[in-house]
Amino acid sequence: MSKEQPKGDFRQLEIATLGGGCFWCTEAVFNKIKGVKNVEPGYSGGKLATPTYEQVSTGRTGHTEVVQITFDPNTISFRQILDVFFKMHDPTTPNRQGADVGTQYRSIVFYHSREQKTTTEQLIEELNNVKVFDSPIVTRVEPFKAFYKAEDYHKEYFKRHPEQSYCKLVIAPKIAKLHEIVGVSLKGNNTQKF
């Protein structure tokens, strides 16, 4: 079992562990956000130690494809991380994101502190109350227990394979949608708010 920690000086940094469908999509989105220091694809929430992609893909291990996000709370808050998370996937479909079906694609927040739990539950309640989505949010909120880093070939998949059909048809539109969202800044020379 691994409780991965970010490299370097992480005393001022925080960690969020989120599952919102295929981790290639979620990683690509959060890698663009200012204040996010690292995004690591992996697996959480299952009963098998050191799972492989092939095992998780069966849907029988109980794991979810997640990203573990290391972020600077002085630049971006956990609430802002959640705002992006809820806008970039469908939190109303149990065990499904588009064509990706199975428990490994469920919408879930693995909280690392009581504050993260409270913030997540409050945001879900707010979104449901104002009916942001046509159906109620089914995102699960569970305590973080362990994170298992995905195989190396999953890391920065979108960046390394932009011409692959899944990247063009599923991930690229999510990246484009970042420019429509207001709240935090994109990384790099792009000062446009989204």
Q: Which residues are catalytic?
A: 22
- Closest among 88, 99, 114 to 178, alpha carbons compared: 88
Can you list the positions of beta strands (E) in the chain? 14-20, 36-44, 64-71, 96-97, 100-101, 107-111, 140-143, 148-149
Q: Which residue has the tokens 């990203």?
A: 67
Token digits of residue 16: 């969020």
What stretch of H or E contains 157? helix 157-160
Please state whether beta strands 140-143 and 148-149 pair in parallel, antiparallel, or not at all (unpaired): unpaired
Q: What is the C-alpha separation between 30 and 74, in angstroms, rounded?
A: 16
**Amino acid identity at 37:** K
Sheet architecture: strand order including 64-71 = 140-143, 107-111, 14-20, 64-71, 36-44, 148-149
Q: What is the C-alpha separation between 148 and 85, in angstroms, rounded?
A: 20
